[in-house]
């Protein structure tokens, strides 16, 4: 399994490439996907199934992820499965973010038009989160593949 630093570096290179390509080709709606890649790398990584760097990045709010860490077997399909892992982490996050959003609306800390624009950007954001975790999962599997191949060579 690659270290958290390797995952962060590879995802940052991918994010930089995506932003550079989007700016160079004068795309207008790249920001939500870029934010999604960053969030998916730094805070909603598949490795939240461990007390990993993404887990500690939540600061004191990491206690909210404690049940997730306890329940999820490391590298299971529920945390490291394509799409399903992201959907579970996003729904888990929504369980504590949506009540906060309603509270912010109730206290008039945010305008409903602002929330509407956030929801309009949500599909692009989710795609960004999925891109980040797909890169993570591919890296995990390829490192396992090469490690197994190396072990087989040593045995011969």
Q: Contact positions toward Zn ion, by CB under 5 A?
A: 46-47, 140
Looking at the Cβ atoms of 40 and 46, the one nearer to Zn ion is: 46
Host H or E run for residue 83: none
Q: Taking the complex as a whole, how short is the minimal distance between the CB of residue 139 and Zn ion, in angstroms?
A: 8
Nearer to Zn ion, 101 or 139 (CB): 139
In the complex with Zn ion, the residue whose CB is nearer, 36 or 46, is: 46
CB of 46 to Zn ion, least distance (A): 5
- Smallest gap from residue 99 Cβ to Zn ion (A): 29
Residues in the chain: 156
Q: How far apart are CA 100 and CA 78, in angstroms?
A: 26
Q: Angle CA(97)–CA(102)–CA(107) in degrees, nearest 5?
A: 120
Shortest spacing between CB 74 and Zn ion, in angstroms: 8
Longest pairwise C-alpha distance within the chain:
69
The answer to whether residues 64 and 92 touch, using CB atoms and an 8 Å cutoff, is no
Residue closer to Zn ion (CB basis): 47 or 86: 47
Q: Which is nearer to Zn ion, 46 or 128 (CB)?
A: 46
> The tokens of 33 are what?
């996907």
- In whole angstroms, the minimum distance from the beta carbon of 58 to Zn ion comes to 17
> Cβ contacts of residue 20 below 8 Å, gap of 6+?
none
Q: How far apart, in whole angstroms, are the C-alpha atoms of residue 94 and residue 122?
A: 12
Residue 57 carries which DSSP code?
T
């Amino acid at each position: 399994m690659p270290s958290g630093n390797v995952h962060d570096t590879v995802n940052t290179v991918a994010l930089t490439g995506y932003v550079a390509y989007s700016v160079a080709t004068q795309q207008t709606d790249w920001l939500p996907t870029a934010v999604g890649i960053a969030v998916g790398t730094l805070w909603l990584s598949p490795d939240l199934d461990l007390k990993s760097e993404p887990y500690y990045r939540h600061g004191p709010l990491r206690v909210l992820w404690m049940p997730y860490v306890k329940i999820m077997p490391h590298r299971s399909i529920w945390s490291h499965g394509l799409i399903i892992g992201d959907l579970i982490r996003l729904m888990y996050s929504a369980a504590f973010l949506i009540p906060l959003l309603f509270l912010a609306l109730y206290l008039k800390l945010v305008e409903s038009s602002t929330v509407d624009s956030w929801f309009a950007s949500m599909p692009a954001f989710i795609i960004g989160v999925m891109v980040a975790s797909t890169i993570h999962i591919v890296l995990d599997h390829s490192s396992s593949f090469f490690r197994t191949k190396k072990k087989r060579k040593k045995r011969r």
